[in-house]
């Protein structure tokens, strides 16, 4: 009988670990289905954050007028309000 080499051991461990990761991935996918409502809420929060960053950036550059800043912040506020209206 021959002793397994280091490469044989790595190959066996790699096969076992990839099968384990695949099984865990399938288990997670079964339990955590993405809800379209959750995705929309995340997108709306991201848009609100982006509007705030744009207003700060344009103000630093001296490009933003008060009207433009209020418009962008209003869009961001509306994006934050939509998910809360959906909850109640």
For 24-82, how does the pLDDT look when each residue is reduced to its tens digit (9 = 90+)? 666 655 556 778 888 999 999 999 999 999 999 999 999 999 999 999 999 999 999 99
Place of tokens 């929309």: 40
DSSP state of 65: -
Residues 38 and 28 both lie in one domain: no
Range of the domain at 14: 1-33
Residues 48 and 76 both lie in one domain: yes
Residues 48 and 29 both lie in one domain: no
Residues 12 and 28 both lie in one domain: yes
Residues 15 and 46 both lie in one domain: no
Residues 57 and 85 both lie in one domain: yes
CA distance 23 to 26: 5
Q: Which two tokens stand for residue 16?
A: 């076992």
pLDDT digits (tens, 9 = 90+) for 9-28: 666 656 666 666 666 666 65
How many domains does one find in the chain?
2
Q: Evaluate whether 69 touches 54 at the Cβ level (below 8 Å).
A: no
* Length of the chain measured in residues: 88
Residues 29 and 42 both lie in one domain: no
């Amino acid at each position: 009988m021959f002793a397994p080499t280091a490469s044989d051991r790595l190959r066996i461990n790699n096969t076992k670990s990839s099968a384990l990761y695949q099984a865990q991935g399938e288990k997670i996918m079964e339990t955590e289905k993405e809800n379209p409502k959750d995705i929309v809420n995340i997108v709306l929060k991201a848009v609100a954050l982006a509007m705030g960053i744009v207003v700060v950036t344009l103000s630093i550059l001296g490009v933003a007028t008060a009207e433009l800043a209020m418009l962008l912040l209003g869009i961001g506020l509306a994006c934050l309000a939509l998910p809360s209206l959906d909850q109640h």
